[in-house]
Amino acid sequence: MSDALNQFCCDTLREVAAELPEPAEPTVYISEDGVLMMVVGIVQTEEGLGYMDHAVMHCPFCGTKLQDPEAIAEKVSH
């Protein structure tokens, strides 16, 4: 993920993606399809922790547009 971190729009987003401790790490990550995702919820299940994530459209810190639904659809359709 280090190459991807260099492409983030601001230092705050880069720090959040790289430096959170377990079990929160990574809260912001790039999926195998290349989509920037953010964990928005964690729930304890019988099988362990379950994570709910969502694609990040705009940086939550500086507001920069990072991706749009069309770009995401293109990445996940391959």
CA nearest to 65, candidates 10, 3, 25: 10
The whole-number pLDDT of residue 1 equals 43
SS3 36: strand
The reply to whether the predicted model has a pTM over 0.75 is: no
Q: Give domain limits for the chain.
A: 2-76
Q: In tens digits, what is the pLDDT along the chain, a chain of 78 residues? A: 445 555 678 888 877 777 655 655 667 888 888 888 888 888 888 998 888 889 999 988 899 998 889 988 988 876
| CB-based burial, 34-73: b 16+ in 10 Å, e otherwise | ebbbbbeeeeeeeeeeeeeeebbeebeeeeeebeeeeebe
Report which DSSP code applies to 31. -
Q: How far apart are CA 5 and CA 41, in angstroms?
A: 22
The whole-number pLDDT of residue 32 equals 87
